[in-house]
């Protein structure tokens, strides 16, 4: 049976992606920084491994233990919401280390094996914020836009080896903990600059009440990732969720 390795599986999209592949009969390697946090169903087709995508040794150990990987899903990521002026370079580096450089590192780790087998798929999870700009998401959006560009170019490099690369663009998913975690990080790191306080409050209020009422579920993302993994005709960039689809269509 085919094997998928998914990063960031403790909660949210990653957990649902891993669970969905299990439902489809796949062998799943679900990775997360703390495997004890896993709430995935017990299965003889599931392995839960520790992995920090910002740590080269952690990546090497996880890949060695996982064995041959047919599909890599780069889902691990962190959110950030603040003005450029209110974001320290330390935070900028942290966001890019996880969202962008971690994605590159994981691709580099699995590609030698995929090239040897002349088969494989890499699915990188991005964000609807790459479709159109939103205030206070400049750093986060930049980290995910880089993932889009990376994947598009890598797909051209890898095609001759029988390897596909695709991007999933999820919309806003209020049912997950992603947004609340990002907001907690903001407050822990000093909050918004005073000059932006009023603007930030208005922006946050607008974000919490989508004009269309359309949102994304973790299941939407899991189904899109599975399509990217199994459908050779899947678009290079595939929106996941009603709001992401609406944005991609200019609505």
Residue 155 CB neighbour total at 10 angstroms: 16
Give the torsion through C-alpha atoms of 148, 176, 10, 130, to 10 deg.
10
Q: In the chain, count H helices and then E strands.
A: 9, 7
Among the listed residues 21, 140, 178, 192, the single catalytic one is 140
Is residue 138 within a helix (H) or strand (E), and if so which, with residue range? helix 138-158
- 55/51 Cα distance (integer angstroms): 8
Looking only at the bridges linking them, the beta strands covering 27-32 and 163-170 are: unpaired
Could you tell me which residues come within 8 angstroms of residue 17 by beta carbon, excluding any fewer than 6 positions away? Answer: 6, 9, 73, 75, 218, 221, 222, 225, 226
Active site residue 20: no
End-to-end CA distance of the chain: 40
Is residue 221 within a helix (H) or strand (E), and if so which, with residue range? helix 218-230
Contact criterion met (CB below 8 Å) for 130 and 79: no
Residue 225 CB neighbour total at 10 angstroms: 30
**Catalytic annotation, residues:** 140
């Amino acid at each position: 049976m085919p094997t998928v390795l998914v990063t960031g599986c403790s909660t949210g999209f990653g957990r649902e992606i891993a669970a969905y592949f299990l439902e489809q009969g796949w062998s799943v390697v679900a990775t997360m920084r703390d495997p004890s946090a896993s709430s995935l169903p017990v299965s003889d087709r599931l392995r839960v491994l520790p992995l920090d995508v910002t740590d080269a040794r952690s990546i090497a150990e996880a890949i060695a233990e996982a064995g041959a990987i047919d599909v890599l899903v780069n889902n691990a990521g962190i959110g950030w919401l603040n003005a450029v002026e209110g974001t320290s370079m330390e935070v900028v580096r942290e966001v890019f280390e996880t969202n962008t450089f971690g994605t590159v590192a994981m691709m580099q780790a699995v590609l030698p094996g995929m090239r040897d087998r002349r088969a494989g798929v890499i699915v990188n999870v991005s964000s609807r914020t790459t479709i159109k700009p939103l205030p206070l998401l400049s750093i986060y959006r930049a980290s995910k836009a880089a993932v889009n560009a990376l994947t598009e170019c890598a797909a051209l490099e890898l095609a001759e080896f029988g390897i596909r690369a695709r991007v999933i663009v999820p919309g806003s998913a209020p049912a997950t903990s992603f947004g609340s975690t990002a907001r907690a990080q903001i407050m822990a790191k000093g909050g918004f600059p005073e000059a932006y306080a009023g603007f930030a409050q208005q922006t946050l209020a607008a974000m919490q009440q989508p004009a269309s009422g359309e949102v994304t579920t973790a299941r939407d993302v899991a189904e899109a990732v599975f399509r990217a993994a199994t459908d050779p005709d899947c678009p290079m960039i595939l929106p996941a969720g009603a709001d992401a689809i609406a944005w991609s269509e200019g609505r």
